A and B are shown apart, each in its own frame.
Chain A
Amino acid sequence: MSQPLLRVRGLNVWYELRGRTEVHAVRDVDLDLDEGERVGLVGESGSGKTSVIMALMGLLPSTGSLSGEVLLSGERTLERGERSARASRWRHTAMVFQGAMNALNPVKTVGWQIIEPMLVHGVADKGQATRRTHELLERVGLPGATARRYPHELSGGMRQRACVAMALACRPKVLLADEPTTALDVVIQAQIIELLDDVASELGMGVIVVTHDLPVVARLCPRAAVMYAGEVVESGPTDALFHSPRHPYTKRLFEAVPDLSLGEEVSSIPGSPPQLDRPIVGCSFAPRCDLGFERCTVERPRLRLVTPDQLAACHLNEMPSEQVAPASSHELGPQQSEPDAAHATCGPATRRDPLLRLSEIQVKYALRRGPWDWLGRRPREYVRAVDGVSLEVRRGEMLALIGESGCGKTSTAQAILRLVEPASGTVEFDGAEVTRLTRRALRPLRRRVQMIYQDPYDSLDPRLNVRGIVEDGLVANRLGDRSERNVRVRRALERVELSPPERYLERLPHELSGGQRQRVAIASALVLEPELLVADEPVSMLDVSVRAGILSLLSRLCHEDGTAVVMITHDLSTAAHFADRVAVMYLGRVVEIGTVREVIRAPRHPYTKVLLSAVPDRDPCVRARPILLGEAPSAAMIPSGCRFHPRCPMAEPTCSELDPQLEPAKGHRVACTLAPRLQTAPAAVTGAEVAP
């Protein structure tokens, strides 16, 4: 191949901020993409990866300016005028946007939006375009009739499929996928990955996948480039990046991502990326790198060939000896967490009495329908969000509640604190029956149970400084005088590793990074010395490199201080790494519960097996074929019998009649009538194969 499909040389992007500061968002990026090739562009927020593809589309905001050279099929694209750039958009380079985004216009039908670019670019007349829309929708696994539906009538996964269909409308040569699976459920994520994989190989397009999610790249892209602080720090074959990274950032980034292989250590990267509004002297990663030496702070390393097919920008590669350790050794700094060691010293066995016991909890939300219901009659229909959940949590134990969105995990957690009233069932906390308490009696109890929320950008009052935020709980509960509160606040900040506390006390939330904010949120819970922490997706809004730090902090609080933690997550890898026990929820029920090892290593419920198979591995050599399922039904229409049977790959006729209950025994329990038989052949469902 003499000439690549897309060739980017020396791309730079600047954004002008108010007050005449300039942010140098992309620095000297080179990128090549051949026909039919797939390249991953990996980086955390602010690494410049989105700016790169926006520059390729010619869609930088008006404050942006750029330099460099972009050749698409040998044709320069940056120099052409808006008119010809416009004609090329979608026709030659189409995009799939982030799954969570509102990429579809809410007031137009899906079909209208797929047809629109074909008509605008004149690739088809109206009749052809309509027919092609049907074909495209069917190609991405949606019924052709979806064309007449509006975006809000589709589920998240269906919308993302429709977006893929829309991107294919004009048969583009290059497909840019910007975080295509972010914020989708694991099962849906796996489906979209498979779909992109199929479509890209079938149509022979060049695909650039932009993501912070390494397993997605490992699964989809044979080649990848890692971006940090606006520059490509390493690029090459994905498995080389994973197995023999030649830049410390790549290595640390892979190590920060948990996956299902238990026991491998996960560590976060200390510090935060540099500010891009001032010139960077030396290597941009040097302040966070523990292998750096003098030259790193003075001279900027250039991207250079370190192996026949791997490029890296790191001075260490010019050192004679093996300074950059291969991934197999784990001799890196002190930041590593050691969940397994902690498990061994004070596991769940040491503290016997359950601190929290839920029995047969039900949470219902009213559905109002029909013309007269608004008159205030009792609603006839309910959504049973939680339908008979029983759980126990001991002191010093971390329980992970896992499930797809809508499975009732958040409602269960809220029922613990009676933030939603359970319709039936009991909650016992430290021997007291929470469900019987009056509102007044509930207050002292709420102090002992604290919540940590998903989004540290929303959960902190932007007008309070750190001291005010952390102190708030003490003030509200009238605990301590001013000086004692001061002491407690400092201690809480130290416990979440924001030290020295003086550096943080007077800061406002917007002056902190995402990870620091979440630490402040945890500190404001810890200051009340709770016995139970309920963490609702505590890291899903954070950057990959800081996630592990927050999770190991929670794990330490749990195992060293004896705080019980209930962690809600949709991310099985996270649960596998940090929790002691796992409860898998499906449509308001717990379908499997047990220790992490039992559930992850030897899952017994078909649903757990499906979930596990859907998790992509961070190691590109492990290519498990996920089991594909339809989407989760709504909790308003719970199927008869086993609620999983319509999606279950193993379902038998009796499954639609028998409603299996969780086995009454202790330990690893499962709610599936087939489980005793399936156990004899555990490998039947999860067919993980290791590629040679």
Chain B
Amino acid sequence: MNRSAADYALRRGALALVTIFLVVSFNFVLFRLLPGSFVTNLSHIPNATPAFRRAIAAEFGLERSKWEQYIIYLQQLLHGNLGVSYANDRPVLSNLTTDIANTVPMVSLGTLAAIVLGTLTGVASAWRRRTVVDHGLTGTALAFYSFPTQWLGLMLILLLGSVLPTSGMHTPFLIGAPWWKSALDELHHMILPSLTVMLTLLGQYTLVVRSATLEAMSEDYVLTARAKGLRGSRVLWRHVVRNALLPVTTLVALSIGFIVGGAILVETVFSWPGIGLAVYQAVSERDYPMLQGAFLLLTISVVVCNYLADLLYFRLDPRVAR
């Protein structure tokens, strides 16, 4: 058992590493496939001489062969160098770190709330299927799922804008306040954007958990459990939900992985200075290194979360052992 667990972890880990390597390489190729090089962009100034072009190319190392560039790219990546942002001349990594630090609390709050609430509503509507509870819960979930995010955000601002802060993550006048006060202030700012994130994810979870639960409820072992004379709640939690949540693990891992990607629409609507907003700005300013860096972090995060989900799955489902 233990050996096979180690085997499994190793195998999945190797697979994850290979995926990351492929993504890194793809990232390299992708940005070199874009029409025109960085040099044509910079040397677009009138009267640029060929010598000037060569100088720029040499400065950025672009006169070397693509393979050499690739090797250098990999080496720099291993040293944590993601390049320099065109927009503000700061290292991409430090830009991204600030943005992620802003994004993660807000989006995690929304995502985790959606996971917990969505699971509860999903299980509840399956257990009370075809009743008012079921129709009400799935109907609500579907409605929120189908609203465009930015519209939902705007509606929340209209509805709650008078009581809750609607933009940014700090009150600008709160200077020199003790740490807990500014933390509370940030939490206060987080409510509306997190709520929006939660509502957009909620529907998906309700529906997926509902159908997984319904499927588990029709399994034979649930009939066995009822025949054993167990209470309804015990049948539900020990036998149904435990099995129904297995397929949901993957979905949870994906959502958590995407936290690092931020929530572009939500952050834009609420001017949250996170990675979603940064990506939005990078796109409009053609800030390729930033995009490349954000893209890389996002994929790595998704791959890692998937790996963790695989390991968790191994713990949860004894059948995976083989």
Please report A residues at the B interface, Cβ cutoff 8 Å. Answer: 57, 59, 86-91, 94-95, 97-98, 101-108, 116-117, 120-121, 150, 152-153, 166, 370-371, 374
Contacts and interface: CB of A to CB of B under 8 A. Distances in A.
4 smallest beta-carbon distances between A and B, as pairs? A89-B229, A101-B220, A150-B318, A105-B221
A150 B221 contact: no
B319 interface: yes
A90 B228 CA distance: 5
A634 to B, nearest CB: 13
30 contacts: A57-B227, A59-B227, A88-B229, A89-B227, A89-B228, A95-B227, A97-B224, A98-B220, A101-B220, A102-B221, A103-B221, A104-B224, A105-B225, A105-B239, A105-B242, A106-B317, A106-B319, A108-B238, A116-B228, A117-B229, A120-B229, A120-B230, A120-B231, A150-B318, A152-B319, A153-B318, A166-B224, A371-B11, A371-B14, A374-B15
Interface in B175-216: none
A91 to B, nearest CB: 6
B234 A104 contact: no
B243 interface: yes
Interface in B262-299: none
Contacts of A104: 221, 224
A106 B221 contact: yes
Contacts of B221: 102-106
A107 B220 contact: no
A176 to B, nearest CB: 9
Question: What interface size band does chain B fall in?
Answer: 20 to 34
A622 B319 CA distance: 43
A152 B242 CA distance: 16
A106 B7 CA distance: 22
Contact of B7 (A95, A107, A116, A370): A370
A87 B231 CA distance: 9
A374 B19 CA distance: 14
Given A89-B226, A374-B15, 6 more contacts: A86-B230, A101-B220, A104-B221, A108-B242, A370-B7, A371-B14
Nearest to B318: A150
Contacts of A97: 220, 223-224
B249 to A, nearest CB: 12
Contacts, number: 77
A90 B229 contact: yes
Nearest to B11: A371
A102 B242 contact: no
B229 A91 contact: yes
B227 A107 contact: no
Given A103-B220, A104-B221, A87 B239 contact: no
Nearest to B242: A107
Contacts of A95: 224, 227
B58 interface: no
Contacts of B72: none
Interface string B296-322: 000000000000000000001111000
B199 to A, nearest CB: 32
Contacts of B42: none
- Which of A107, A117, A153, A374 has most chain B Cβ within 10 Å? A107
B229 A150 contact: no
B32 to A, nearest CB: 29
B220 A121 contact: no
Contacts of A150: 318-319
B10 interface: yes
A479 B221 CA distance: 49
Contacts of A105: 221, 224-225, 239, 242-243
Contacts of A116: 228, 230
Contacts of B68: none
A120 B228 contact: yes
A87 B229 contact: yes
B239 to A, nearest CB: 6
B219 interface: yes
Contacts of B318: 106-107, 150, 152-153
